[in-house]
A = this chain, B = another copy of it.
Amino acid sequence: MNTIEALSMEELRRQFNRTGLRFTPQREAVWRIFEGNPDGLTISQVTVILAPQKIGQATVYRTIRALQDMGYLKWVHEQTGEHRFVVSRSGHSHMLVCRVCSKAVECSDCDLSVLEKLIARQTGFTVEGHHLEFFGLCPDCS
């Protein structure tokens, strides 16, 4: 579903540097965790995984926020209300989450522009964007 090729570490470093941020071993470690877990992780999960490497939770929070700001991570809602963060390879996209196994896939060809125009006309709002999340059952859990 509209997947662009994997991001190289050097590319990611450039993305960080472009905005005046530094690409540290800790940040690389956080990114690797997400790359290795396509269905996403909560902040607390990442914190636990990286604790043995002595990477503090403050760093995890800061890095996830940075990756999110750069558009490399998207979040979806957990049933618990917690946020789970998932790697996003396409630009703007929506998440589709399995209610049972929490598998998450990205779908980016969902065109809501027609809907946005309709809503704009009906409400008088200037619609700037949206957050859309689908949930259901993945093929394995169906």
Contact = CB atoms under 8 A, between A and B. Distances in A.
Interface in A87-142: 96, 98-99, 105, 107, 109-110, 112, 115-116, 118-120, 122-139, 142
Q: How many copies does the complex hold?
A: 2
Contacts of A110: 115, 118-119
B135 A129 contact: yes
Contacts of A139: 123-125
Interface residues of A, number: 36
A60 to B, nearest CB: 16
A126 B107 contact: no
Q: Which of A98, A119, A124, A125 has the most CB of B within 10 A?
A: A125
13 contacts: A96-B119, A96-B123, A105-B123, A105-B125, A116-B134, A125-B136, A125-B138, A125-B139, A128-B135, A128-B136, A129-B135, A131-B132, A131-B135
A1 B116 contact: no
Contacts of A1: 122-123
Given A110-B115, A115-B110, A127 B136 contact: yes
